[in-house]
Amino acid sequence: MVTFTVLGSGSCVPSYRRSAAAYHVRWSDGSLLMDLGPGALRRATEAGIDWSSADAVLLTHFHMDHFADLLPYLFALKNTPGLGRSRELVLFGPVGVVDVMTGLAGLFGSWVRMPGIPLRIMEYGDGPVEIGRCRVEPMPVRHSRGALGFRLEVGKVAIAYSGDTGPCDELIHLCREADLAVLECAATEEVLANHLTPEEAGRIANEAGVRTLLLSHFYPSARPDDVLARCRKTYYGTILLAEDLQQIVLAEPPK
Ligand SMILES: [Zn+2]
Ligand SMILES: [Zn+2]
């Protein structure tokens, strides 16, 4: 069984209702975080998630609405009284994540370089990423330089996450027959370059044969009825609109 929790269904625009992009995935003996936008840690505590035990943090790209809580996360790992964690944390991101972390360590010093636990920094191209039983397939998507989407496979359960992207073949590949595809849908009010409209997200899900489509990354102006109706024009499966703290439980299909 895999539990997917939305920690942030919003965008860079401050919103009481929606935190910026962040998701948590938990399986029987492991867990990871995907993106850590501002507000992610607070939402994780609100959801009752044991944020401190994540085996990995996967970053899709370096826009602040996707990774601004990374430093508070490392700081909290080091300074939360009684945590006592000694297990390694994998930090995986686009090409450049090593340079980003080196730069941040230059600014903030030892707690970035030595957050009190072994930190293994990996970037795209370093080879396959396996976080315990979770196989991670990263793939470049159409957004900022080096931006990635992810496909996670835990046993027979497959989850795809777009990060930020415009429509591209790579995204269809990541989403192929996924049990859950989490696609950004930032372009609801106007066409935004390198983001998805509801129709485009639906088209991707349809072509990839996705079982459940979760639309996320909404600006405050997004109107749920409108988003749903527009996505329904191109996709006939189950469509969910993300809300902060929403949980989706995925069970492995019977053998
Ligand atoms: Zn972005
Ligand atoms: Zn974004």
How many Å lie between the centroid of ligand 1 and the Cα of residue 74? 22
Considering every ligand atom shown, identify the ligand nearest to the alpha carbon of residue 8 and give its number. Answer: 2
How many Å lie between the centroid of ligand 2 and the Cα of residue 189? 15
Q: Which residues surround ligand 1, an ion (CB under 5 A)?
A: 63, 164
Q: Which amino acid is at 23?
A: Y
Q: If DSSP states are collapsed to H, E and C, what string results for 23-56?
A: EEEEECCEEEEEEECCCHHHHHHHCCCCHHHCCE
How many Å lie between the centroid of ligand 2 and the Cα of residue 37? 9
The DSSP output letter for 164 is: S
Higher-pLDDT residue of 86 and 199 is: 199
Percent of the chain exceeding pLDDT 70 equals: 99
Domains of the chain (ranges; CATH) run 2-250 (3.60.15.10)
User: Across residues 90-95, what is the average pLDDT?
Assistant: 97
The pLDDT of residue 113 is 74
User: Across residues 31-49, what is the average pLDDT?
Assistant: 97
The pLDDT of residue 97 is 96
> Which residues partner with 56 through β-bridges?
32, 90
How many Å lie between the centroid of ligand 1 and the Cα of residue 215? 16
Band the pLDDT of 136: cuts 50, 70, 90: very high
Closest CA to 217 of 79, 21, 4, 6: 21
Query: Of 42-46, 100-104, 191-195, where does mean pLDDT reach its minimum?
Result: 191-195
How many Å lie between the centroid of ligand 2 and the Cα of residue 140? 15
Produce one character per residue of 166-200: b if its CB has 16 or more CB atoms within 10 Å, e if not: bbbebbbebbeebbbbbbbbbbbeeeeebbbbbbb
How many Å lie between the centroid of ligand 2 and the Cα of residue 63? 6
How many Å lie between the centroid of ligand 1 and the Cα of residue 192? 11
Band the pLDDT of 192: cuts 50, 70, 90: confident
Band the pLDDT of 254: cuts 50, 70, 90: low
Query: Does residue 115 surpass a pLDDT of 80?
Result: no
pLDDT in tens, 176-185: 999 999 999 9
Residues 69, 74, 78, 82: is their CA dihedral positive or negative?
A: positive
Q: Which amino acid is at 74?
A: L
pLDDT in tens, 51-70: 999 999 999 999 999 999 99
How many Å lie between the centroid of ligand 1 and the Cα of residue 143? 7
Q: Which amino acid is at 182?
A: V
Considering every ligand atom shown, identify the ligand nearest to the alpha carbon of residue 185 and give its number. Answer: 2
How many Å lie between the centroid of ligand 2 and the Cα of residue 203? 20
Per the CB < 8 A criterion, the answer to whether 88 and 119 are in contact is yes
Considering every ligand atom shown, identify the ligand nearest to the alpha carbon of residue 193 and give its number. Answer: 1
Band the pLDDT of 255: cuts 50, 70, 90: low
Query: Does residue 121 surpass a pLDDT of 70?
Result: yes
Percent of the chain exceeding pLDDT 90 equals: 89
Q: N- to C-terminal Cα distance for the chain?
A: 14
SS3 of residue 142 by DSSP: strand
Considering every ligand atom shown, identify the ligand nearest to the alpha carbon of residue 184 and give its number. Answer: 2
How many Å lie between the centroid of ligand 1 and the Cα of residue 207? 24
Considering every ligand atom shown, identify the ligand nearest to the alpha carbon of residue 21 and give its number. Answer: 2
